[in-house]
Chain A
Amino acid sequence: MSLLRYQVRSLMIVRAFERGALYPVPLDAIHTVSYLADALATSWRLKPLDNAVLKTQWVPRSQPLQTAVDRLTGMGLIRATKVEYVVRDSRHALQAEYAVDLDRAADVFAVLDGDSEWIAENTAIGEISFAVTAMGRERAPRAVLVDASYSDPLLDNNNVLSLSSGIDDEPTRTESAGRSLGAIAKERVGHALTPAELTSLYVRHLYALSGEA
């Protein structure tokens, strides 16, 4: 997957948070949204960017996504603040918050917004980011940790979590869980939920779980 694809996704995510309460957007939230977009890729008819992630006790960090964020900072399209490095389990990790420079990035967004190829991904990213924003600063970082795929008890830390077999469109556990919630909701509202509604419902479910976790 090219660096450009990751840069586009990073820009989409940072912009999606722009008008919400979680802005400038913490780095973990960027990785969280990207992870959820991959975990829900089939529902949104997207191709996952990272179809395999290393399960740890933290939010999974995609190395190419991080490189993209760094490059965008260097190019001046996004700004970094509150840069610091934390030590978790004897391992160092970057923490920072990011804001988009809408003027500098205007040309890029003009292309993305006018290209039908990007619209589905942009919509998905927008919906997921919106739902994650609603979780609030405290619980948002825990969203991934209670996600159906990431928290699968059959998969211990330090194992590969596959989000796509690469062969078929088999739903991930995240999607299966979302669809189960959708089926219950359908009984109540009388119609099938849109991907956006399903996403929102699923992330709200993560909000509830993250409170119990």
Chain B
Amino acid sequence: MIQFPIITRLSVNDYELYPGTEEEPGLQAVFQPGLTLVIGANGLGKSTFVSLLFRMLTGNAELKNMGYATMGSGQVDIRSMYNHELRTFVDRVGDAAREATATVEFSLGSTVIHATRRLATLTLVDLVADGVEQEPTEGEFRAAIVDAADLDSFLSWFLVLRYLVFYSDERRSLVWDPTAQRRILPLLFLPPSEIAPIEELTERILKEDSTVRNLAAALKKREKELRTQERALDSLPEAQSELESLREQRAEAEERLEELRDEFVVAEVERSRTRLEALRAADDEQSVGAELERLRLMEVKRAFPTADESAAYMLTHLFAEGQCLVCGHAAEEAAAAMAERLRSRHCVVCDTELDPADAVDQGAADLAGTRQRLEDARYALADALEQRAQADKDYVDCISEMADAQDRISKTTAQVMRIERSLPESDRTVVKLRESLDEIRADNEIARQRVLFAKERLARLVDAQNRLLSRYRDQIKDGFDSHATGFLVEHCSLVWGSNAEQIGQLGRSIPYSVFQVDMTGGARENASRRESASQVSESQREFIDLAFRMALIGVAGEGGIGTLVMDAPEGSLDAVFAPRAAEVLTSFGFGDGQSRVIITSNLVDGQLIPRLAEKAQIRGVEDSRIINLFRIAASTAAIRDHRDEYDAALDRAFRAPGEDR
């Protein structure tokens, strides 16, 4: 359990972007429990507001080794922002933000922190923790936060802000990024003492893996040198030529093995995916088949109330699946003929007309619909099985080819060594090079074994960690359901699964437990796994991630409370989903009475702003929970030229429900 920040105040002074009014200069925001809505138009500084709030909590820290869209499997750490990154706030104004400062107030559990920074450099000028003045240094700031938030490091704090608290314009997702989850889930739920050994071991593996690669590169370089030296020797040209050829073969095999290792990772993922799809398709087919059989069995039982159950079972199959269970052949014609007798109230076996009292209500529409669904399920199953067979084949081929390549490497190495030993050692340089090659090979092998051993240990530690995390699985899933159901029309659920991650390049991948998303929709009747954000619509992507964040804050946060800052949710929402989004966003803010939701939005027509205001019981634009950038921010040309239109739109957005629009 950790303490999520409850952001309570933000004050920005002497910043030209937010001049404020004569009565209240600058931007003075008090975030009350529930919703605060920052309303503006393009160019008024909505995204800057979110960025500023973020920077007040992180200072000039930034993540290094960060992937573009996803986190990336390298070791993530904190670095200082580069000069051009620090210009974010400077470049928005004409005076280079020379005098601009901002103060944030937030609490972490019972600890209240005030921090004031210069916007031009983000340097701290004032720091107060629990009413006690502190040395305004980043060290003091970070230490106070790590201690009060119950985290292991400032890096963890940064990740919590980036992946849980702030949903900024960069739209970095957590639910679709398994690497980010593998770093963040432990820091939310496990004590630092559980996380540290894994972090240290992972770092060691990455370092030693890099050593192995360096040694391999050194080996190649020395081999090349040796070849050059040996070519210079006049003796035994035939042996030299054979040596040359063998080394080329070995280099080719090594190169191919490298390629195959990459291909294997892809083949393994594809094999897992197709196995799941095939099993789910088979399950669907069985279920729909059973549904059709049930309908047919009811008919058969009504027509043959005294029939032996096995006979009924066989007839049911014949009618439902068109297959004769006696001989195993397809018997569509016989099935159709018998079904026709049933439909026309004749005995299935002897065609005698039956008493109307024995009439069978076939529920023709039900049958036709279910039969069609069964057809579809069968096509889906056939397709899934075909894909699975191909993926299995690719997987096995890859393993087999890797074994071949490894075999070729071993054989050519043995041959090379045999010939090398047979060559005259008259040339001292060649002798020395061979010795040095042997040493590098031995060092490389030792380093390789060390990495493999460390990875086995890491796998055991991660397995134990996965088990500890799994205790929170159901709570998180329930939390997600309660938030996602409010927004999504499709049925969407979290699935606790496994993501095999390759740490370094050597050895096996490590399975980390992460959440994945199953969702109905598209051509499939039942839910299917959505492995990436590209498999859902933009608004689904955002709100599924948001529901996941809310669930995590609810379960991992002490008291289930926290702050959520979201920049411009309106961009991905259509008319139907805007009110649903308002429902979800406000449900988080009001669930416990203490959490804060800070949302920035353009002043757009539609349901989002009115519904947010309605849910939060905001009665007008003068409400203290509205941060009106039209009033606070420096006007753009568009605002100056169209002030009346904006005012009218603002009025419409905050008019009470039922009033004329």
**A positions within 8 Å CB-CB of B:** 52-54, 56, 61, 63, 66, 70-71, 73-76, 79-83, 85, 91-94, 96, 153-160, 162, 166-167
Name the interface residues of B581-627: CB closer than 8 Å to any CB of A: none
Question: A176 vs B327: C-alpha distance in the bound complex, in angstroms?
Answer: 42
State the main secondary structure of chain B at its contact with A.
helix
Please tell me if the beta carbons of B326 and A56 are within 8 angstroms of each other in the complex. Answer: no
Name the interface residues of B305-326: CB closer than 8 Å to any CB of A: 309-310, 312-314, 316-317, 324-326
Q: How far is the CB of B288 from chain A (nearest CB, A)?
A: 7
Please tell me if the beta carbons of A73 and B310 are within 8 angstroms of each other in the complex. Answer: yes
Please tell me if the beta carbons of B495 and A80 are within 8 angstroms of each other in the complex. Answer: no
Please tell me if the beta carbons of B513 and A154 are within 8 angstroms of each other in the complex. Answer: yes
Question: A53 vs B279: C-alpha distance in the bound complex, in angstroms?
Answer: 7
**Of A81, A92, A93, A154, which one neighbours B498 at CB under 8 angstroms?**
A154
| CB-defined contacts of A66 to chain B, threshold 8 Å | 286
Question: A153 vs B286: C-alpha distance in the bound complex, in angstroms?
Answer: 26
Question: A81 vs B283: C-alpha distance in the bound complex, in angstroms?
Answer: 23
Given contacts A80-B309, A160-B276, 16 further A-B contacts (CB under 8 A): A54-B280, A56-B283, A63-B285, A70-B325, A71-B328, A74-B317, A74-B327, A75-B326, A81-B310, A85-B297, A94-B293, A96-B313, A154-B513, A155-B498, A158-B280, A158-B529
Q: How far is the CB of B110 from chain A (nearest CB, A)?
A: 34
| CB-defined contacts of B496 to chain A, threshold 8 Å | 154-156, 159
Q: How far is the CB of A85 from chain B (nearest CB, A)?
A: 4
Please tell me if the beta carbons of B293 and A158 are within 8 angstroms of each other in the complex. Answer: no
For B301, give the chain A residue with the smallest CB separation: A83
Please tell me if the beta carbons of A94 and B290 are within 8 angstroms of each other in the complex. Answer: yes
Please tell me if the beta carbons of A158 and B399 are within 8 angstroms of each other in the complex. Answer: no
Is B467 among interface residues, defined by CB-CB distance under 8 A? yes
For A161, give the chain B residue with the smallest CB separation: B279
CB-CB under 8 A for A158 and B294, given A79-B310, A83-B309: no
| CB-defined contacts of B293 to chain A, threshold 8 Å | 85, 94
Q: 14 pairs across A/B with beta carbons < 8 Å?
A: A66-B286, A70-B317, A70-B325, A74-B328, A75-B325, A75-B326, A80-B310, A81-B309, A91-B283, A92-B294, A93-B287, A154-B470, A159-B497, A166-B396
**Of A54, A79, A92, A156, which one neighbours B291 at CB under 8 angstroms?**
A92
Is B466 among interface residues, defined by CB-CB distance under 8 A? yes
| CB-defined contacts of B297 to chain A, threshold 8 Å | 83, 85
CB-CB under 8 A for A85 and B294, given A80-B313, A159-B276: yes
Is B390 among interface residues, defined by CB-CB distance under 8 A? no
Q: How far is the CB of B278 from chain A (nearest CB, A)?
A: 9
Question: A66 vs B290: C-alpha distance in the bound complex, in angstroms?
Answer: 11
For A81, give the chain B residue with the smallest CB separation: B309
Q: How far is the CB of A103 from chain B (nearest CB, A)?
A: 15
Name the interface residues of B212-234: CB closer than 8 Å to any CB of A: none
Is B371 among interface residues, defined by CB-CB distance under 8 A? no
Which 8 pairs, one residue from A and one from B, show the smallest C-beta to C-beta distance?
A74-B325, A85-B294, A156-B496, A54-B279, A92-B290, A92-B291, A91-B287, A63-B282
CB-CB under 8 A for A74 and B498, given A160-B275, A167-B399: no
Q: Chain B 622-650, CB within 8 Å of chain A: the 1/0 string?
A: 00000000000000000000000000000
Question: A79 vs B325: C-alpha distance in the bound complex, in angstroms?
Answer: 12
Question: A71 vs B396: C-alpha distance in the bound complex, in angstroms?
Answer: 32
| CB-defined contacts of B244 to chain A, threshold 8 Å | none
Is B272 among interface residues, defined by CB-CB distance under 8 A? yes
| CB-defined contacts of B328 to chain A, threshold 8 Å | 71, 74
For B392, give the chain A residue with the smallest CB separation: A166
Please tell me if the beta carbons of B317 and A92 are within 8 angstroms of each other in the complex. Answer: no
| CB-defined contacts of B501 to chain A, threshold 8 Å | none
| CB-defined contacts of B294 to chain A, threshold 8 Å | 85, 92
Please tell me if the beta carbons of A73 and B313 are within 8 angstroms of each other in the complex. Answer: yes
Please tell me if the beta carbons of B325 and A73 are within 8 angstroms of each other in the complex. Answer: yes
Q: How far is the CB of A58 from chain B (nearest CB, A)?
A: 10
Please tell me if the beta carbons of A74 and B283 are within 8 angstroms of each other in the complex. Answer: no
| CB-defined contacts of A94 to chain B, threshold 8 Å | 290, 293
CB-CB under 8 A for A158 and B314, given A85-B291, A94-B290: no
Q: How far is the CB of B586 from chain A (nearest CB, A)?
A: 30
Please tell me if the beta carbons of B495 and A83 are within 8 angstroms of each other in the complex. Answer: no
Name the interface residues of B536-595: CB closer than 8 Å to any CB of A: none
Is B14 among interface residues, defined by CB-CB distance under 8 A? no
Q: How far is the CB of A57 from chain B (nearest CB, A)?
A: 12
Name the interface residues of B249-306: CB closer than 8 Å to any CB of A: 272, 275-276, 279-280, 282-283, 285-288, 290-291, 293-294, 297
Is B473 among interface residues, defined by CB-CB distance under 8 A? yes
Is B518 among interface residues, defined by CB-CB distance under 8 A? yes
Please tell me if the beta carbons of B495 and A159 are within 8 angstroms of each other in the complex. Answer: yes
| CB-defined contacts of A166 to chain B, threshold 8 Å | 396
Please tell me if the beta carbons of A82 and B309 are within 8 angstroms of each other in the complex. Answer: yes
CB-CB under 8 A for A52 and B279, given A75-B326, A85-B294, A156-B497: yes
| CB-defined contacts of B527 to chain A, threshold 8 Å | 158
Q: Chain B 72-104, CB within 8 Å of chain A: the 1/0 string?
A: 000000000000000000000000000000000
CB-CB under 8 A for A157 and B495, given A71-B328, A73-B310: yes
Q: How far is the CB of A207 from chain B (nearest CB, A)?
A: 24
Please tell me if the beta carbons of B309 and A156 are within 8 angstroms of each other in the complex. Answer: no
Question: A73 vs B328: C-alpha distance in the bound complex, in angstroms?
Answer: 11
Question: A63 vs B278: C-alpha distance in the bound complex, in angstroms?
Answer: 11
Q: Chain B 483-520, CB within 8 Å of chain A: the 1/0 string?
A: 00000000000011110000000000000010000100
| CB-defined contacts of A63 to chain B, threshold 8 Å | 282-283, 285-286
Please tell me if the beta carbons of A153 and B279 are within 8 angstroms of each other in the complex. Answer: no
Q: How far is the CB of B326 from chain A (nearest CB, A)?
A: 5
Question: A157 vs B495: C-alpha distance in the bound complex, in angstroms?
Answer: 7
Please tell me if the beta carbons of A160 and B279 are within 8 angstroms of each other in the complex. Answer: yes
Please tell me if the beta carbons of A73 and B314 are within 8 angstroms of each other in the complex. Answer: yes
For B469, give the chain A residue with the smallest CB separation: A154
For B318, give the chain A residue with the smallest CB separation: A74
**Of A70, A74, A83, A154, which one neighbours B466 at CB under 8 angstroms?**
A154
Please tell me if the beta carbons of B325 and A71 are within 8 angstroms of each other in the complex. Answer: yes
**Of A52, A82, A96, A154, which one neighbours B275 at CB under 8 angstroms?**
A52
| CB-defined contacts of A160 to chain B, threshold 8 Å | 272, 275-276, 279
Question: A155 vs B529: C-alpha distance in the bound complex, in angstroms?
Answer: 15
CB-CB under 8 A for A156 and B473, given A56-B283, A74-B328: yes
| CB-defined contacts of A167 to chain B, threshold 8 Å | 399
Question: A167 vs B398: C-alpha distance in the bound complex, in angstroms?
Answer: 12
Question: A66 vs B337: C-alpha distance in the bound complex, in angstroms?
Answer: 26
| CB-defined contacts of A85 to chain B, threshold 8 Å | 290-291, 293-294, 297
| CB-defined contacts of B518 to chain A, threshold 8 Å | 158
Question: A160 vs B317: C-alpha distance in the bound complex, in angstroms?
Answer: 29
Question: A85 vs B473: C-alpha distance in the bound complex, in angstroms?
Answer: 32
Please tell me if the beta carbons of B473 and A92 are within 8 angstroms of each other in the complex. Answer: no
**Of B283, B396, B467, which one neighbours A154 at CB under 8 angstroms?**
B467
Question: A166 vs B400: C-alpha distance in the bound complex, in angstroms?
Answer: 13
CB-CB under 8 A for A74 and B497, given A82-B309, A93-B290: no
Q: How far is the CB of A12 from chain B (nearest CB, A)?
A: 20
